[in-house]
Amino acid sequence: MGALEEAHLAAAVAAACACEEEDDDLELLAGEGEAAAAAAADDAIEPAVRALLVGLGEDELREGLRRTPKRVAKAFRDGTRGYKQKVKDIVQGALFPEVGVDKKTGSAGGTGGQVVVRDIEIFSYCELCLLPFSIECHVGYVPSGGRVVGLSKLSRVADVFAKRLQNPQRLANEICGALHSSIQPAGVAVALQCWHIPLPENLECKSLQGWIRTSHSSRSGVFEGENSTFWSDFMALLKLRSIDMEMDNHSVSISWCPLRSLEVPLLNGHCKKSAANGIISPKSVPTPSNMVSAVSSMLLSLGEDIQRKELLGTPQRYVQWMMRFRACNLDVKLNGFTLNNFSVYERPGGDKADHEAIRSELHLPFCAQCEHHLLPFYGVVHIGYFDNGSGEGIDRSHFQSLVHFYGCKLQVQERMTRQIAEAVYSVSHSGAMVVVEANHICMISRGIEKIRSSTATIAVLGQFLTDPSAKACFLQNVLDTPGLAI
């Protein structure tokens, strides 16, 4: 550990405390008063989450799930904290005098000098299905009255409205309206690019690949009207960052939320009939009424009006999503394929240097549900195994079924990696190696918000363990094969 200052570290590490629970991520964000109110709300949310776990066929008391209701309750509380936040508190005190120029001369500084903050990365929650969605938010305003607002406040105000149950257009409108009211500028422009996770069977391997994309904007004051030069300047300043709102602008359609899309007749071409990753799932799954009731009680605890029209089908949709990850999901179970279909392979001779015999199936997409947070993690699986010397490998679709079987449930990445490796090893006795690369929504939408982090796990069995060059050969193969960026 090099020049580690042991004493310094020991002091930091040794100070054990009686704190029994994790998830201080979120505790940090809640004030004392809020915590008390939230505790009452949690009382209703936690039993609801337990009901969901039981409905999914899980043992709610097993170690990995024991504190899941608490974590989920905290995440929902944090994800809807925006209802309690006041825009005026944020903007007040952050308005600074800034002279401009005479209006006849032009627009600059505190009078007309447009300010645009681009690429503010935020998350919100789809009111139709309760899953988080990803947003690139771009905010512009035209100062008026010789005053400007602190730049960070544009982002903070956007987040107030993102931390609610939302749809993209209302989010754009609310950010725009709130900034206009609180800053009182000549105008406000808001442009959002939003991504919604698709149904698990439509996820492709790459980051945001296969996600449902939509763009929305909202404008007030000098940005309004077809010929607003401020609006065209706003668009031009976005284009400097390669953001082209005009190219992909379309209204919220029923295809925005894939759970909503399931309920209505498919529009021509909007929804793929067959899944992108080769796994065919049923269009809809059963939604037990006790689970639906549980989600309704969660919404009530969050202070939502469950009678407002956008939320009417939300509990069913959330249960639809969750049920796709239920234990022993017979509908997708190995897709008619069983492990017996694998041939039992023998390594040719004992030649450890014979890396021709190593076969690999790479970039097999998956979408699992993190059992700690009930949020998706998704990515790709790379599988390595030894050929039986016949030159014939196992068909890719078999591996995809295997990945789907172990992936499409409440999981943790470490366990899924091991399970897939063991399954492959059970039929390819010489050796099996699995690398899983995944993005965890819980690492993004909760607490720490590490948007670009990506987790890799590895399992190395049999020959791959004893022959480092075989392992290196497989890893090099993964590296050399395109399409791996997740």
Report 211-270 residues binding its own copies (CB under 8 A): 218-220, 229, 232-233, 236-237, 239-241
Half-sphere exposure (CA, 13 Å, Cβ side) for 84? 15
Span of 197-205, 334-342, 387-395, 471-479 interacting with its own copies by CB under 8 A: 471-479
User: Which residues are within 8 A (CB) of 423 and not within 5 positions of it... i.e. 6 or more apart?
Assistant: 339, 402, 406
Q: How far is the CB of 3 from its own copies (least distance, A)?
A: 6
Member of 80, 107, 255, 388 binding its own copies (CB under 8 A)? 107
Member of 55, 110, 185, 200 binding its own copies (CB under 8 A)? 110
Q: Which is nearer to its own copies, 323 or 358 (CB)?
A: 358
Task: Decide if residue 146 touches its own copies (CB under 8 A).
Answer: no
Query: Taking phi first (over 0 means left), then psi (-120 to 50 degrees means alpha), and beta for anything else, what does residue 48 get?
Result: alpha
Measured CA to CA in angstroms, residue 119 lies from 4, 122, 134 at distances of: 38, 9, 12
DSSP letters, 168-229, are: HHHHHHHHHHHHHHHH--SEEEEEEEEEE---GGG--SSTTTT-EEEEEEEE-GGG-STT-H
Task: Decide if residue 132 touches its own copies (CB under 8 A).
Answer: no
Q: How far is the CB of 396 from its own copies (least distance, A)?
A: 20
Binding residue count for its own copies, defined by CB under 8 A: 134
User: Which residues are within 8 A (CB) of 21 and not within 5 positions of it... i.e. 6 or more apart?
Assistant: 67, 70
Q: Which is nearer to its own copies, 323 or 384 (CB)?
A: 384
Query: What is the rounded distance in angstroms from the CA atom of residue 231 to the CA atom of residue 250?
Result: 18
- Dihedral, CA atoms, 189, 190, 193, 195, nearest 10 degrees? -160
Q: How far is the CB of 279 from its own copies (least distance, A)?
A: 24
Task: Decide if residue 121 touches its own copies (CB under 8 A).
Answer: yes
Task: Decide if residue 170 touches its own copies (CB under 8 A).
Answer: yes
Task: Decide if residue 145 touches its own copies (CB under 8 A).
Answer: no
Task: Decide if residue 421 touches its own copies (CB under 8 A).
Answer: yes
Query: What is the rounded distance in angstroms from the CA atom of residue 283 to the CA atom of residue 289?
Result: 19
Task: Decide if residue 458 touches its own copies (CB under 8 A).
Answer: yes
Per CB under 8 A, contacts with its own copies among 268-307 are none
Q: How far is the CB of 440 from its own copies (least distance, A)?
A: 6
User: Which residues are within 8 A (CB) of 465 and not within 5 positions of it... i.e. 6 or more apart?
Assistant: 431, 471
Span of 202-210, 295-303, 337-345, 414-422 interacting with its own copies by CB under 8 A: 414-422
Q: Which helix (H) or strand (E) holds 155?
A: helix 151-162
DSSP letters, 355-416, are: GGGEEEEEEEEEEEEETTTTEEEEEEEEEEEE--SSS----HHHHHHHHHHHHSSEE-HHHH
Query: What is the rounded distance in angstroms from the CA atom of residue 356 to the CA atom of residue 387?
Result: 8
Task: Decide if residue 412 touches its own copies (CB under 8 A).
Answer: yes
Q: How far is the CB of 289 from its own copies (least distance, A)?
A: 31
Q: Which is nearer to its own copies, 202 or 219 (CB)?
A: 219
Member of 225, 270, 449, 483 binding its own copies (CB under 8 A)? 449
Task: Decide if residue 22 touches its own copies (CB under 8 A).
Answer: yes
Q: How far is the CB of 21 from its own copies (least distance, A)?
A: 5
Span of 284-292, 346-354, 398-406, 477-485 interacting with its own copies by CB under 8 A: 477-485
Per CB under 8 A, contacts with its own copies among 54-93 are 63-64, 67, 85-90, 92-93
Measured CA to CA in angstroms, residue 63 lies from 60, 221, 372, 433 at distances of: 8, 55, 10, 27
Member of 6, 268, 330, 390 binding its own copies (CB under 8 A)? 6
The residue with tokens 């149950």 is 165
Task: Decide if residue 409 touches its own copies (CB under 8 A).
Answer: no
Q: How far is the CB of 446 from its own copies (least distance, A)?
A: 7
The answer to whether 367 touches 200, Cβ cutoff 8 Å, is: yes
Task: Decide if residue 417 touches its own copies (CB under 8 A).
Answer: yes
Member of 205, 379, 447, 473 binding its own copies (CB under 8 A)? 447
Task: Decide if residue 465 touches its own copies (CB under 8 A).
Answer: yes
Q: Which is nearer to its own copies, 201 or 361 (CB)?
A: 361
Query: Taking phi first (over 0 means left), then psi (-120 to 50 degrees means alpha), and beta for anything else, what does residue 407 get?
Result: alpha
Q: Which is nearer to its own copies, 3 or 330 (CB)?
A: 3
Parallel, antiparallel, or unpaired for β 358-370 and 410-411?
Answer: parallel
Q: How far is the CB of 320 from its own copies (least distance, A)?
A: 27
Residue 97: strand, helix, or coil: strand
Q: How far is the CB of 31 from its own copies (least distance, A)?
A: 8
The answer to whether 407 touches 366, Cβ cutoff 8 Å, is: yes
Task: Decide if residue 355 touches its own copies (CB under 8 A).
Answer: no
Q: How far is the CB of 409 from its own copies (least distance, A)?
A: 15
Q: Which is nearer to its own copies, 161 or 399 (CB)?
A: 161
User: Which residues are within 8 A (CB) of 460 and not within 5 positions of it... i.e. 6 or more apart?
Assistant: 421, 433, 471
Residue 130: strand, helix, or coil: coil
Residue 30: strand, helix, or coil: coil
